[in-house]
Structure 1
Amino acid sequence: MPDTASTNQQRLEQLKAFYTAGAANDRGYTLFDLWSKPDSWLERSHMFIQWMFPLTTASAGNMYAPVLDEPTINFLRNNARAQDNLVRSFVRFCALLGLKVINTEQGPQLAIGDNFAERKTDWFTFDSHNNARITRVLTSLKLLGREDLAKLMYEGLLKLMADEPGCGIGEYAVGRWGAAK
């Protein structure tokens, strides 16, 4: 359980260690633990996303999540291990959506993964909390210097929406994604 007495500065130090040294977050999970969780666990949990993809604004869903400041953003942008772990977190989040990153002659692309048929019912066929998660991921990626991944995700989602039948994602979510990326 989170330490209610911790300050944001303490949480930011914890976030740095979480992203670079294998330390646990406020719930006792390391990044490796979170990457290893099954999709069903990640779908039900509303406390992991704020640590995997931190923002500069407080989370309404997790009052103990770190709120990024400029020194921490710079640290995470310039630390090679943090950047590698951010990419792994991005790939894991894509898998939660039933998507995968593939390499093509044109560069990396977002594609339908083996579990898309199962996962799409939790986000693609109707507006769900996962649309807000996507907005968070896009925003965090951009903040932490991975505009390339934010663009890859945004463009891949738009293509998926155009190509795949049964899309129920609304204009509001797509507008938020566009503003975030």
Structure 2
Amino acid sequence: MAEATAGSLHAFLAGVGRDGRGRSVADVLAFSDDELEAVHDYIQWLFPLPTRSAAQPHSPVLTQAEIEAIRADPRSIESLKKATERMLQFYRETHWWLTAHDHNHLRITRILHSLRLLVGPIEARAFYGVIISLHEAAGAPINTRSLHYWAEAAGTPGS
């Protein structure tokens, strides 16, 4: 019998469900850096939001019940933390996103919003701090609009 979850996103993050392509959270976390860059439909599952994705409009949208269930589920929180570490590894090891405009800038905004909503502001600000450090170490190539969105999403003071 399937374990009770609040919805498909909760089931995926809890490790008992699959995304729209039949992948588990472990499958997605095992993606290579090239796969993380080339595949465009996983980020909405790893870092869900209560708003529809413009890039992947068929991806599920978080409900209030799922938000509450994910926040209360240690398995889901652990998956979110592992996903955060995997994405930080990706951003540390790759450099193509360190440019004025890149689709990864939208991913980073999503990650920050999702972390802040589901895990908490401390984790969102920690992710933001690493991303800003990488940006600064690369000579500050990212546009000010993306930087503003990231600060706002992370809930940093003055954003």
Q: TM-score range by the shorter chain?
A: 0.7 to 0.9
Q: 1:165 & 1:178 partners in 2: Cα distance?
A: 18
Which residue of 2 is the match for residue 128 of structure 1? 102
Q: Which amino acid in 2 is paired with 1:20? A: A
2:149 aligned with 1:180, yes or no? Answer: no
Q: Secondary structure of the equivalent of 1:168?
A: coil
Deviation, 1:124, is 1.2
Identity percentage over the alignment?
A: 32
Which residue of 2 is the match for residue 75 of structure 1? 69
Q: 1:165 & 1:83 partners in 2: Cα distance?
A: 31
Q: Looking at CA atoms only, which structure, 1 or 2, has the larger radius of gyration?
A: 1
Q: 2:117 & 2:29 partners in 1: Cα distance?
A: 21
Deviation, 1:123, is 0.7
TM-score, structure 2 normalization: 0.87
Deviation, 1:70, is 1.3
Q: Which runs of 5+ in 2 are unaligned?
A: 1-5, 155-159
Q: 1:155 & 1:16 partners in 2: Cα distance?
A: 27
Structure 2 counterparts to residues 1-181 of structure 1, below 5 A: 13-98=7-92, 115=93, 119-120=94-95, 122-162=96-136, 164-181=137-154
Q: Secondary structure of the equivalent of 1:97?
A: helix
Q: Which runs of 5+ in 1 are unaligned?
A: 1-11, 99-114
| CA deviation vs aligned residue, 1:10-36 (integer Å, no higher than 9, x gap) | xx6121211113321011111110011
Q: Which has the higher strand share?
A: 1
CA RMSD of aligned residues (A): 1.4
Aligned residues: 149
Q: 1:165 & 1:82 partners in 2: Cα distance?
A: 33
Q: 2:31 & 2:128 partners in 1: Cα distance?
A: 25
The answer to which structure, 1 or 2, has the higher relative contact order (CA under 8 A, 6+ apart) is: 2
8 Å CA contact 1:34–1:48 kept in 2: the answer is yes
Q: 1:139 & 1:165 partners in 2: Cα distance?
A: 24
| CA deviation vs aligned residue, 1:139-168 (integer Å, no higher than 9, x gap) | 000110322111001122223333x14431
Q: Which amino acid in 1 is paired with 2:145? A: Y
